[in-house]
C-alpha cells in the first residue's frame, strides 16, 4: 500500500467495522481515531465533548490524526466530524486514500440506536433528524476529502470492505 486508507462518513456508516476488516484482509492493524483519543486522554469521547467542548475535542482529534499517520497507520477509521477541520481535510486528501462510507440517516439511526447515549452530537430529539442535519452540513466536506464514495446501506461490513478494496485497486493512487 502506498498511502493509508482512511474511512470517513456519518456515525453509523460502519467505519470502525469496515476498518477492522480491511486491516485483517491487508494484514495490517486498523486504527480507530476515536479509540486513540480515548486512550490518549483516558476519557471516553462523550465525556471529552462534555468536559472540554467540541473545539478542544477537534484540536485533540487533529493531533491524533497526525500522530497515527506519523506512526505508520495503514487503515484508519476517522470520527464522523474529522472533516470539519480544514487541516484534517487537507491531510486526508494529500496523505491518505480517503473513502467516504455513505449511509442514509435512517439507516445510521438504526445502527447506532444501541449506543446512542455515547454519541455526543446526537443530543436530544430524534436521532434520524439530527443525523440528517449532520449529513447536510458535512456531505460537501466528506466529498472534498474523499477519493471514493461507497454506499453502505443494506450491506454487511464485509461487503463494504470488499467493495472498498475493489474500488481502490481499480483506481490506483
Sketch the domain layout of the chain as residue ranges: 5-170
The answer to the question of whether 16 is labelled as a binding residue is yes
Burial class (CB in 10 A: 0-12, 13-18, 19+), 25: middle
Q: pLDDT per residue over 96-110, tens digit each?
A: 999 999 999 989 888
**Annotation-wise, does 111 bind a ligand?**
no
Joined grid coordinates for residue 90? 487537507
| 15 marked among binding-site residues | yes
Backbone torsions φ then ψ of 7, nearest 5 degrees = -105, 130
CATH of region 5-170, choose from 3.30.365.10, 2.102.10.10, 3.30.465.10, 3.40.50.300: 3.40.50.300
Q: What's the predicted TM-score (pTM) here? A: 0.92
Residues 9-59: pLDDT tens digits? 999 999 999 999 999 999 999 999 999 999 988 988 888 888 888 888 889
Interior/surface letters 62-80, b for 16+ CB within 10 angstroms, e for the rest: eebbeebbeeebbbbbbbb
- Note the pLDDT of residue 33: 96
Amino acid at each position: 500500500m502506498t498511502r493509508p486508507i482512511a474511512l470517513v462518513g456519518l456515525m453509523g456508516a460502519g467505519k470502525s467495522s469496515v476498518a477492522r476488516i480491511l486491516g485483517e484482509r491487508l494484514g495490517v492493524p486498523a486504527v480507530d481515531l476515536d479509540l486513540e483519543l480515548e486512550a490518549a486522554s483516558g476519557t471516553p469521547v462523550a465525556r471529552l465533548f462534555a468536559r472540554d467542548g467540541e473545539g478542544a475535542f477537534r484540536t485533540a482529534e487533529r493531533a491524533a490524526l497526525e500522530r497515527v499517520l506519523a506512526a505508520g497507520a495503514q487503515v484508519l477509521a476517522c470520527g464522523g466530524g474529522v472533516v470539519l477541520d480544514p487541516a484534517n481535510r487537507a491531510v486526508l486528501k494529500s496523505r491518505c486514500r480517503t473513502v467516504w462510507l455513505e449511509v442514509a440517516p435512517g439507516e445510521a439511526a438504526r445502527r447506532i440506536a444501541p449506543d446512542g447515549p455515547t454519541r455526543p452530537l446526537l443530543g436530544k430529539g430524534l436521532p434520524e433528524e439530527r443525523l440528517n442535519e449532520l449529513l447536510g452540513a458535512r456531505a460537501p466536506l466528506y466529498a472534498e476529502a474523499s477519493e471514493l464514495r461507497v454506499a453502505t446501506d443494506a450491506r454487511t461490513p464485509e461487503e463494504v470492505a470488499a467493495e472498498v478494496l475493489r474500488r481502490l485497486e481499480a483506481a490506483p493512487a
